[in-house]
Amino acid sequence: MGQCARCGVKTGILSGSKNLLGNEYCSYCYTEEKLYYSENLLAVLQEKYDVPPDSGEVFYQYGFFRIPSSSYHIWVKDKNFCFFPSTPKKKEEDYVFIYFAVSDIEYYVIEGETTGETAIPDVHKSSNVGLENEVAANMKPETGGVGRKDRIINAQNPKTAEDDQRKTNLHILLDGIKRNMYFRYEDYGEFYKIIPDKAYCNVKNS
């Protein structure tokens, strides 16, 4: 019917025909344009949502918000705590901007254990390993995929990162209901950079 807006080839049965932002592309160009678009969409939307250059960057693992497990910018604007993806997404609907009042944050704290420290790989300690890993597996029911067998194998080599069960847990109160958002352990410092007042130790002592 038409013509590819990028390479000029006749679109139709042989070269395909797909629309993107009001333009028609052949199948090949569509794939390329789509990639370009998604990479630039990140920058465009980051500008739209006013992501500041000094924002923090954290990795959301799971929790109350059903958003992709991925990297997000965090910052505070107008007393709101804001989240927006920091890496390109395949689907436009994955660019989710989340914000809630800073006052809705109860605190954030590091929770969980690192098997590497608690399960000392001595022979006489090994009987505890299965139990500890079972407990660890039960602590994170939403991660799926990681079976108990994997954990036991890891326990024999406790220096792998997967043994580190510690997480930064952001406790929030939304509409009066306690919610949680779980991030990597090492993201704690990013939260501390953005909202130091909400660190558990500071909330407790204030």
Which residues sit at the interface with Zn ion, rule CB under 5 A?
4, 6-7, 26, 29
Name residue 57's amino acid: E
- Give 142's contacts (C-beta < 8 A, 6+ positions apart): 62
And the tokens for 63? 């929790």
**In this complex, which beta carbon is closest to Zn ion, that of residue 7 or of residue 131?**
7
CB of 35 to Zn ion, least distance (A): 14
CB of 7 to Zn ion, least distance (A): 3
CB of 13 to Zn ion, least distance (A): 15
**In this complex, which beta carbon is closest to Zn ion, that of residue 9 or of residue 76?**
9
The single-letter DSSP state of residue 8 is -
Give the C-alpha separation, 193 to 173, whole Å. 21
> What phi-psi label fits residue 110: left (phi over 0), alpha (psi between -120 and 50 degrees) or beta?
beta
**In this complex, which beta carbon is closest to Zn ion, that of residue 4 or of residue 74?**
4
**In this complex, which beta carbon is closest to Zn ion, that of residue 28 or of residue 49?**
28
CB of 4 to Zn ion, least distance (A): 3
